[in-house]
Amino acid sequence: MEPLPEPKRLVLIGATGSIGQSTLEVIRANRSSLELVGIAAHSNADQLDAIATEFGVRHQSLYARDGLQGLIDLATLDEADVVLIAAVGTVGLRPALAAMEAGKDVALASKEILVLAGEYVMAEAKRHNCRVLPIDSEHNAIFQCLEGCPQPKHVRRLILTASGGSFRNWTTEQMAAIQPADALKHPNWSMGPKITVDSSTMANKGLEMIEARWLFDVAPGQIDVVIHPQSIVHSMVEYVDGSILAQLSPPSMTFAIQHALLHPDRAPGVTQSLDFTQALQLDFLPPDAGRFPCLRLAREAMVRGGAAPGIFNAANEVAVAAFLAERLAFLDIPHVVEETLQTVDPEVGESLDDLLEIEAEARHRARAITARFAQAKRCSSRNLS
Ligand code: MG
């Protein structure tokens, strides 16, 4: 009898978040092929302890207590094979790079890392001969559609699908009154608050275009976005002969996570797949860049390159946090992003330290710009009451 292959040993950074929880579901169903050896969360110690107990995890770290070094120690654990990074924002950048240097594969859910420093991160992965496995559902779909395509010259374009978020059919007038509670209801996906708001402004799709550019090493002009309200087709690849390949599954992150973690192996999924005994309708529409300016701003930042995508991301993070705190109007999110992009010079340098420095400056500027918009919002709401 052939001996069973050793399980892949996994470190999960962001264990208590939405992606973390879906990852645990995948591990529960694949105990013989996946073993959890390290976990980290932002600050929920009780939940982290519960996960450690359930999965017999020996190493854990709380970001709020141990800082970045705690994450780096986990990412470079001797016994780890794969490090899954699902922390909010760019906090996972240094841990991801440390994992690569230590020869681990990196499964990436935190798209902001590639938005900020995609060229650098992918070059590091190549240098250390590590795989970067996409966890984002669109990118995992493209990854699957590219399997069996050894020749990049055969790819014409990547087509990212977007649900269009909660306000796909809203008029600009309706959108002016959007409150955080409205933006936190996503029609198809259950996700964390930041990404749910990003989905409703379509900034998320903008970030994903930039993520795709680096993950798959394509030119900005080779990435398109199409609205697909059902979130069943997770993305597509068009080949030069005009054939388009798509990946379909219900909107659950378990499909992408399991594919990435078991790759190149496959196993029965933990979520029911599509049921074609029922009628199933799939719609595709062009995006409305007029009502969703974040998409245009992201594309411009992607084309401009350098630190521009990192500036886009930093300004968006600041603006979304202010919107969630009810200090900024929904429609002012793109205004903050656009003004920050106009005032911070993205071409100062291209080393990682330069990128991080410009990103910090962008946050600083975005906060000042947000404060100005917040002041205007307070004045207008006072006039209304
Ligand atoms: Mg996505």
Q: Across all residues in the chain, what is the average pLDDT?
A: 94
Q: Each residue of 37-94: pLDDT tens digit?
A: 999 999 999 999 999 999 999 999 999 999 999 999 999 999 999 999 999 888 999 9
160 CA from centroid of ligand 1 (Å) = 9
199 CA from centroid of ligand 1 (Å) = 9
208 CA from centroid of ligand 1 (Å) = 7
How far, in Å, CA of 232 to CA of 251, rounded? 6
Integer CA distances (angstroms), 323 to 97, 145, 194, in order: 31, 36, 10
61 CA from centroid of ligand 1 (Å) = 26
322 CA from centroid of ligand 1 (Å) = 23
Q: Each residue of 5-41: pLDDT tens digit?
A: 789 999 999 999 999 999 999 999 999 999 999 999 9
Residue pointed to by tokens 């900024």: 328
385 CA from centroid of ligand 1 (Å) = 39
136 CA from centroid of ligand 1 (Å) = 5
165 CA from centroid of ligand 1 (Å) = 12
User: Is residue 266 packed enough to be buried (19+ CB in 10 Å), middle (13-18) or exposed (0-12)?
Assistant: exposed
161 CA from centroid of ligand 1 (Å) = 9
pLDDT of residue 185: 83
Ion ligand 1 residue ranges (Cβ < 5 Å): 136-138
Listed in sequence order, the DSSP H helices in the chain are: 18-29, 45-55, 63-75, 93-101, 111-127, 137-146, 172-175, 180-183, 193-201, 203-215, 253-262, 293-304, 308-324, 333-343, 352-384
137 CA from centroid of ligand 1 (Å) = 5
pLDDT of residue 95: 98
Q: How many CA atoms lie within 13 A of 233 on its CB side?
A: 22
pLDDT of residue 190: 73
Per-residue pLDDT tens digits of the chain, which is 385 residues long: 666 678 999 999 999 999 999 999 999 999 999 999 999 999 999 999 999 999 999 999 999 999 999 999 999 999 999 999 999 888 999 999 999 999 999 999 999 999 999 999 999 999 999 999 999 999 999 999 999 887 889 999 999 999 998 899 999 899 999 999 988 887 777 778 888 899 999 999 999 999 999 999 999 999 999 999 999 999 999 999 999 999 999 999 999 999 999 999 999 999 999 999 999 999 999 999 889 999 999 999 999 999 999 999 999 999 999 999 999 999 999 999 999 999 998 886 778 999 999 999 999 999 999 999 988 878 877 665 5
pLDDT of residue 148: 83
Q: Which two tokens stand for residue 331?
A: 């429609």
174 CA from centroid of ligand 1 (Å) = 25
139 CA from centroid of ligand 1 (Å) = 7
pLDDT of residue 1: 61
138 CA from centroid of ligand 1 (Å) = 5
212 CA from centroid of ligand 1 (Å) = 11
How far, in Å, CA of 30 to CA of 27, rounded? 5
Beta carbons within 8 Å of 365's beta carbon, 6+ residues apart: 315, 340, 343, 344
Using DSSP's 3-state secondary structure scheme, residue 137 falls into: helix
Domains of the chain: 8-135 (3.40.50.720), 150-242+285-384 (1.10.1740.10)
Q: Each residue of 259-273: pLDDT tens digit?
A: 999 999 999 999 999
